[in-house]
Structure 1
Amino acid sequence: MRCPKCQHNKSNVIDSRQAEDGNTIRRRRECDACHARFTTFERVEEVPLLVVKKDGTREQFSRDKIFNGISMSAQKRPVSSEDIENAITRIEKNIRRNHDGEVDSEVIGNLVMKELADLDEITYVRFASVYRSFKDVDEIEELLQEITKTVRAKKESKK
């Protein structure tokens, strides 16, 4: 495994454990050259999943694309990379369980929104503002009212 700091090709696994999702192994590694420590994730390669975009084109499902979109929305928020990875794993499991080889991009977007609503409201609103391409302030206001109801309902159920 290539070290992200010095690009050396050899590293040693110093800790290995199953991630929360049960389908991923999390490994802590140490570079043989610079002794930097880094984390890698190992998972079984699934059957390719195609995403059908709005214009009808198809592209391969990419966890990285979802990760990057969520990460940008979660900047300066209390959302860890592990939280994002776990959310993406739940999204991917849902897609693989309910769709045979192809899924509309809209379905993925809605699943991401659902996960973010549970994870962090501000991250949800940031993601939604890009994903939904709001045309005016009224649409944003509707989203804020929707998320406010959800947050209040969660708080009430915890009492």
Structure 2
Amino acid sequence: MSKYEELNKAGPEQQNCGLAVDVIYIDTFDTARSLQSIACSSGTSMRSIALGGGELQLKSRIINGSFNRGYCMQIFRSEAIYNCNMNDQIDTVGADSDWIETTGTQHSSFDACKIYCLQTEACKAVHYDSKYCFVYNKITTVQQKADSIYSRKDCVDTQSKWTF
């Protein structure tokens, strides 16, 4: 982002004006889509834009309004809200060199092992074998092993939006 025409002041030269921001969303297929402009002529307002990936291009312009001391704009990303699920693979384990040592109730069953992973941010996957929960805090390679169950945590950001 840069100041309009590299001016030193952030506020408009004339009195009684407003701010409009034209928003162009470029999706993952490199298609540009113009979204409804964000216009503020007095007071404050807020607008959210949900993104499925891609980029935003913003261009500001002066419009009629009642501001007399300049204006500002805040852009922030809403905190991510993740929805996570465990994906099971029968007769599969991760690499022995990648699991970390843990203690506690996660060893009581495969379901307890998966719940532990869902509730632990650093956990990426688990496998359950011989009444023991093996926890992985990084992506690991998998291999076949009879009577074992491997489960990878997959999370999706359900809050993917920007607020203006």
- TM-score, normalisation: structure 1: 0.19
Greater RCO, 1 or 2 (C-alpha within 8 Å, sep 6+)? 2
Please say which structure displays the higher CA radius of gyration: 2
Q: Per residue, is there more helix in 1 or in 2?
A: 1
